[in-house]
Structure 1
Amino acid sequence: MSSSEENVRLSAGDAELTVHPAHGCRIGSLRIGSTELLRQGERYGCFPMVPWCGRTGYGEFRNGDVTHQLPLNSPPHAIHGTGRDTAWRTAHVEKAQAAFYYDLAEPWPYEGRVTQTFELTEDGLTLGLAVETYGTSFPAQAGWHPWFHRSLGGQDARLSFDAAWQEERGDDHLPTGRRIDPVPGPWDDCFGMPDGVDVTLTWPERLELTVKSRSEWVVIYDEQDEAICVEPQSGPPNGLNTAPRLVTPIDPLEIATTWSWTRL
């Protein structure tokens, strides 16, 4: 385990995880033996989506009778929150565990704290996110955006999941509010799994990886040749407006996901 302002490295068996707290507290690398699972580059790895996930429609959301405007960083919408663009502080580091936090600030209009935790084992990684308020209640979301390599050792991943529904996506890339039967990919779409997220990526003869979460929402994004994104999140895209989950002084928002792997 090593720690610096730039990165924190965790290890368990032959699994090694590198976190970049100064660069949005994203996972820069997840290696199983000699195999790197995540697409490399400053936009990639795996970043936290907080305090909202995916697109917030036209950057606007309401809290009670107050309307707020967020920067349109993916015009005409605001996408993926502020956590990925923030320097986080290191709260705790051990050989295979770490915790980081940052305080919510502009352009997010409410005060609070976000904490992200990492727990690595030889055959799995558990990630946690929590959003707390310093007083005023506000709607929020949290989740993760991993960029898994589509191909490992020349073998393309097979994607397997069984969703109860798909959120119909409008021309503006926002869910229309209709739930439809899942349709074939490629996807940039949100799916509902009432019994919890359960998605498997299989690279034949290399590795099988399962992404699970007690949350019922997952976005699958596989429109790029290089990567497949499996994004467990606490609500659907534009959920600050359509399915607001209030963070209150006695009820923080908490979400966790576990990635488990088996060598084939």
Structure 2
Amino acid sequence: MQNETKLTAGDAELTLEPGHGCRIASLKVAGTELLRQGERFGAFLMVPWAGRTENGVFRNGGVTHQLPVDAPPHAIHGTVRHTAWQEASPATDTTASYHVDLADPWPYQGKVTHTVELAPHSLKLTLSVEVPAGGDSFPAQAGWHPWWNRNLGNGGQDVELSFRAGWQEERGDNHLPTGNRITPKPGPWDDCFGMPDGVDVTLTWPGELRLNIQSPTQWVVVYDEQPEAVCVEPQSGPPNGLNTTPRLVTPIDPLEISTLWTWHRIG
């Protein structure tokens, strides 16, 4: 398995690690690293669920499944971030595509594909979840968990977040949405927001760089409770969505989600 895939476009450089969950390990613009470094960080993929699944339990029709509880008392962020991916098509200087089969502890057969398209001022990412012909349908989610550096390390100011949400999912004591939608509150956040017209969040490092995260999906989790980084996570449903807002993936109806990150230098 290839350890790294490097893409370049203009002064943008991206490093993908297919052997480590196909995560984006690095995204540099003009030599400046935008993502927090470390094996748990970068930008990892959340499939076949995003965020926490309550007590690691989900139901598919009348069948109940138990997932490993890796964020007690819940299961968190899916399984594919721990696995090695295979090349789906030959990489170019600016594009790469990898896939992985869903496997134990996930109880259903499926295939996940991650496609990465880098341009000088943008990055488009696409995730798809497919059920093989004759396979059983199942609920699933997909999304990205990027760790953006709070400070770019060039002597500038910390990042500022800007977005307008239609609602905020009220968070219960168990760290999961209660089912109530409330008026968005000021941060700090570890919260899910609804954006009915699609995700649209701007990160600004004053005087240095402005980066916009967009996605046709209406769900985004914002996490900014750590001093080193902030997370803006487009995902196809809210935390615990396998149970509360299940999106069924079938042999004729795959799940697909995309996100576009665009940036330009300022100052």
Interval containing the TM-score (normalised by the shorter chain): over 0.9
* TM-score, structure 2 as length reference: 0.97
TM-superposition CA deviations, 1:19-59 (whole Å, max 9, x none): 00000100000000111000000000000100000000000
Superposed counterparts of 1:241-260, under 5 Å: 241-260=243-262
State the AA in 1 paired with 2:247: R
**1:12 corresponds to which of 9, 20, 25:** 9
State the AA in 2 paired with 1:88: W
Number of residue equivalences: 261
Question: Is residue 136 of structure 1 aligned with residue 136 of structure 2?
Answer: yes
TM-superposition CA deviations, 1:166-189 (whole Å, max 9, x none): 000000000000000001111000
Counterpart of 2:66 in structure 1 is: 69
Counterpart of 2:219 in structure 1 is: 217
Superposed counterparts of 1:55-204, under 5 Å: 55-92=52-89, 93-134=91-132, 135-152=135-152, 153=154, 154-204=156-206
TM-superposition CA deviations, 1:105-149 (whole Å, max 9, x none): 000000010000000000000000000012110000000000000
Superposed counterparts of 1:29-40, under 5 Å: 29-40=26-37
CA distance in 1, matches of 2:235, 2:181: 17
* TM-score, structure 1 as length reference: 0.98
State the shift of 1:91 in Å.
1.7
TM-superposition CA deviations, 1:205-256 (whole Å, max 9, x none): 1000000000000000000000010000000000000000000011000000
**Counterpart of 2:145 in 1: which secondary structure?**
strand
State the AA in 1 paired with 2:24: I
Q: Give every structure 1 segment of 4 or more consecutive aligned residues whose post-TM-superposition deviation is greater than 6 Å.
A: none
Counterpart of 2:43 in structure 1 is: 46
CA distance in 1, matches of 2:83, 2:55: 22
CA distance in 2, matches of 1:36, 1:114: 28
**Counterpart of 1:90 in 2: which secondary structure?**
strand
State the AA in 1 paired with 2:248: L
State the AA in 2 paired with 1:18: T
